[in-house]
Amino acid sequence: MELVREFIVNYWKAGFEILLLAAVIYYFLLLFRGTRGAAVLTGFIIVLLVITGLTQFFQLDVINWILSRFIALLAIAVLVIFQPELRRGLAQLGSQNPFASSRLRVELADVLSETAKALAQKRCGALMAVEREIGFRGVAETGVAVDAKATPELLTTIFFENTPLHDGGVILRGDRITAAACVFPLTQRQGLNPSLGMRHRAAIGLSEETDAVLVVVSEETGDISVAIGGELRRGLDPDAFREYLSKTLAPPARRGFGVTDAMRRFLSGLFLRGPRGEPTETFSTGTTELPAEDKTNPEERGEGQS
């Protein structure tokens, strides 16, 4: 018993450091799971291990010296190469844990499905972003503040051709429209389908930076598309769109430490307050990524900038 106590006294700090490093590495790997950066990170680690192994085995002193100096710049290289994944992970870490009733989620799904169906029939282009855990106030400030309850009639009116607010994106928070005619960031990804117009590229761009659900109605074909997690699913019929939206707006099973969640709720209460001090209500949604469907529907390149 004395040996055990002496061992704990002498080595508890080393054990704590090992556990802390293991937790940091585990969370770091979680940031890349299911993302495009996962393959890049895997290849990066394989190349580094192979080169290090070869230099140690063949005693390549010059290359080993270069690698030892390169390791010092590894942190900067990681920040540059994996900047999108790191930014998204930090945003998820600091995002609040929203509480929204299932009734409101169902109502929002109904409103969006009815709006998309009506606009698709009239061939009116539309771009709608449902804010989830990661807010994007800066994007909302590029448009016109609305602060009105979301209804199919109001959304259809906003996107009707030649109206002042139709050329841009609408942001929904909870069951309310917060802003219209917003400018969304375009995706910088290469190799996209040439038929994708500006609305679709803006939807992909915002979904790459946040966890929002982007709904796009094509002005040229009337197709309904959904972008989430940087991936675009095209050609949804109204029933399939309504079913998918209901599943997406379902609350996820959150992972996290109790201390992290408590700190998140405290800071969210400080920074995410409404104009009169009420907490802003957002929808808790899952983060399932959908594979992009390769449909070749022609899309007008000059669709309204979102």
Last residue of a domain, one of 62, 88, 114: 88
Count Cβ atoms below 10 Å from residue 70 Cβ, excluding itself. Answer: 13
Quote the CA–CA distance of 263 and 43 in Å, as a whole number: 35
Q: What is the pTM of this model?
A: 0.58
Instruction: Give the per-residue pLDDT at 101.
Output: 56
Which residues 6+ apart lie within 8 Å of 132 measured at CB? 98, 210, 211, 212, 213, 282, 283, 284, 285
Specify the number of domains making up the chain.
2
169 φ, ψ (degrees, to nearest 5)? -110, 150
| Cα–Cα distance list, 281 to 140, 256, 268 (Å) | 16, 21, 11
**Is the domain of 64 the same as that of 136?**
no
- State the Cα–Cα distance between residues 116 and 172, nearest whole angstrom: 14
Do 84 and 106 lie in one domain? The reply is: no
pLDDT at 273: 45
Q: Let me know if residue 123 belongs to a domain.
A: yes
* Final residue of a structural domain among 66, 88, 110: 88
Output the pLDDT for position 157.
Answer: 95
pLDDT of residue 226: 94
- Residue whose token pair is 């109001």: 154
Same domain, 221 and 110: yes
- CATH number of the structural domain spanning residue 250: 3.40.1700.10
Average pLDDT, consecutive stretches of 10 residues, N- to C-terminus, the chain (306 residues): 78 88 83 68 84 88 84 77 72 52 78 94 94 84 94 95 92 92 90 89 91 92 91 88 83 49 53 42 36 40 41
Q: Would you say residue 134 lies in a domain? A: yes
Asked whether 251 and 99 are in contact (CB, 8 A), the reply is no
Q: Could you tell me if residue 119 is inside a domain?
A: yes
Q: Do both 53 and 106 map to the same domain?
A: no
Same domain, 155 and 236: yes
Q: Are residues 142 and 166 in the same domain?
A: yes
Does 289 map to a domain?
A: no
Query: Do 197 and 114 fall within a single domain?
Result: yes
| Residue span of the structural domain in which 16 resides | 2-88
Element (H, E) at 226: strand 224-228
In 85-187, the DSSP E strands lie at 126-131, 144-149, 169-173, 176-182
pLDDT at 142: 94
Pairing assessment for the beta strands 126-131 and 169-173 based on DSSP bridges: parallel
Q: At 291, is the secondary structure helix, strand, or coil? A: coil
How far is the C-alpha of 55 from the C-alpha of 67, rounded, in Å? 9
